Structure 1
Amino acid sequence: MTRCAEDDCENEAAVELHIPWDANREVCPDHARVWAQKDGVVPAPMDGHEDEWP
């Protein structure tokens, strides 16, 4: 199990964020929704978690 890369979040990571101005990071679906609203960020479900991300 990979934990969410966001500080103080204990949830399991399910989405990999491709961030053009920073390193990619693996986050939980809740944080992925926030990040996905930023220009240029591309979210992709991690293997085995496709049903957790639309």
Structure 2
Amino acid sequence: MTTCEEADCESEAAVELHIPWDANRLVCTAHARVWVQKDGVVPEPLDGHEDEWP
């Protein structure tokens, strides 16, 4: 299990975010929903988590 890379979050990472101005991040679905609101951020579900991400 990979943990979400956001500070103070212990949820399981389910999405890899491709962020043009920063390094890619592995985050939980809750944080991914916030990040994808920003222009240029592209989400990619991690293997085994496709059903958790629309």
**What TM-score range do you get, normalising by the shorter chain?**
over 0.9
Please report the TM-score for the alignment, with normalisation by the length of structure 1. 0.99
Cα RMSD after superposing both structures: 0.3
Residue 38 of structure 2 aligns to a residue whose secondary structure is coil
The aligned residue for residue 35 of structure 2 is 35
| Aligned AA (1:41) | V
Please report the TM-score for the alignment, with normalisation by the length of structure 2. 0.99
Q: Distance in 1 between matches of 2:9 and 2:40?
A: 23
Q: Which runs of 5+ in 2 are unaligned?
A: none
Q: Distance in 2 between matches of 1:36 and 1:6?
A: 14
Q: Which runs of 5+ in 1 are unaligned?
A: none
* Segments of 4+ moved more than 2 angstroms: none
* Number of equivalenced pairs: 54
